[in-house]
A and B are shown apart, each in its own frame.
Chain A
Amino acid sequence: QKEVEQDPGPLSVPEGAIVSLNCTYSNSAFQYFMWYRQYSRKGPELLMYTYSSGNKEDGRFTAQVDKSSKYISLFIRDSQPSDSATYLCAMSAGNYGQNFVFGPGTRLSVLP
């Protein structure tokens, strides 16, 4: 079993849809959870950074963490074609990034 698993997609949705992206993990020591967006041939961009369980909202993006289920989600409301990218979850065991690991990424395509 990989340490972090993510459906690779591609996931295609119509413009305006609510998108749900998910990661599962096996290491119960992970406490810090991040979501990155990566456009083709570009470096990743940090979207959300959360600690422990709970929700965090930033504009159209909401990150959820359920540590009991070892499951994290990123929701995108009112999705736009410009949201088309690969979304990578990442997590670590400490605030200094101990045991930092990326998920494999989910390719999202928002169709106009």
Chain B
Amino acid sequence: GAVVSQHPSWVICKSGTSVKIECRSLDFQATTMFWYRQFPKQSLMLMATSNEGSKATYEQGVEKDKFLINHASLTLSTLTVTSAHPEDSSFYICSASVSGGANEQFFGPGTRLTVL
């Protein structure tokens, strides 16, 4: 149980385009989903916390107009990187919480974004 999927698993795009990443909880309903970014050999950096039906809460320094998060249902959250640039290239990982808190997060497999 507690399986989280992400799609796509990797994407390459041109600078200036927008990319949408989907995060789905497959066998449970997730009140809260989290979006992280991870650069090579570094830890996960929380970008935003997303609650179903409400606006996401962004961490300090994360541009909410650049990283659009939508949590339309209890099993789906999307992250859209708008007008992507090479510095946005990273590993994006989502997680979902059954309880709504961060202590017991179940992570997706991640999405590798490369912006040319």
Chain A residues proximal to chain B, CB less than 8 Å: 8, 32, 34, 36, 41-46, 49, 88, 92, 94-97, 100, 102-105, 107
Contact = CB atoms under 8 A, between A and B. Distances in A.
B91 A32 contact: no
Contacts of B6: 43
A interface, over-half SS = loop
B interface, over-half SS = loop
Interface stretch (B61-69, B79-87, B95-103): B95-103
B43 A42 contact: no
B89 to A, nearest CB: 14
19 contacts: A8-B41, A34-B103, A41-B112, A42-B110, A43-B93, A46-B105, A49-B103, A49-B104, A88-B44, A94-B101, A96-B100, A97-B102, A97-B103, A100-B103, A102-B44, A103-B43, A104-B42, A104-B43, A107-B41
